Amino acid sequence: ADAELLADASRCELREKADRISGQKSEADSLKNTVDRLKAALEDEKRRRAEAELAAAASHSALNEKTEEITVRGTEMEALKHGIERLKHAFEEERAKRVENEVLVETAHSVLREKQEEFVRAQKLIEQLKDKLRLWKSK
């Protein structure tokens, strides 16, 4: 009977240990699953960070290109502004020369008209003198 009691107690203790081991195994499996999920989350976060770093590098590169392009455009704009100012100055000089030439042409026309009128008066005077000379010769 003692052996039977001892066997029952041993079986009971063995069941308790088996239950405890089963609970520990379930807890270990749960912890292993948690570790696996955390490892996967860490790897996913590393991948996302690498993608973000690549995107940031690409954005930085694009920003540098745009900055350089803007600088070049600014230089081109300054050159164009300078060219425009030179053209305006040249235009004003040409306009002044044209106006001066127009004044000279008008003056030349006025002088020519005066000379023509003077020529016509001289012609009339010559005709009058010829008439007087003929008249004098005829007397």
- pLDDT at residue 41, as a whole number: 98
Residue 115 DSSP one-character state: H
Residue 103 DSSP one-character state: H
- C-alpha span between 123 and 4 (Å, rounded): 172
Taking only the tens place, the pLDDT of each residue in 14-50 is: 999 999 999 999 999 999 999 999 999 999 999 999 9
- C-alpha span between 94 and 87 (Å, rounded): 10
Question: Would 66 be classed as within a structural domain?
Answer: yes
> Range of 50's domain?
1-106
Structure tokens that stand for 134 in this block: 């003929």
Structure tokens that stand for 48 in this block: 């996302």
Q: Which residues, given as ranges, of the chain have pLDDT below 50?
A: none
Question: Would 63 be classed as within a structural domain?
Answer: yes
Say how many domains are in the chain: 1
- pLDDT at residue 12, as a whole number: 92
- C-alpha span between 70 and 73 (Å, rounded): 5
pTM (2 decimals)? 0.48
- pLDDT at residue 20, as a whole number: 93
- C-alpha span between 132 and 139 (Å, rounded): 11
Question: Would 111 be classed as within a structural domain?
Answer: no
- pLDDT at residue 1, as a whole number: 79
- pLDDT at residue 67, as a whole number: 97
- pLDDT at residue 114, as a whole number: 97
Question: Would 78 be classed as within a structural domain?
Answer: yes
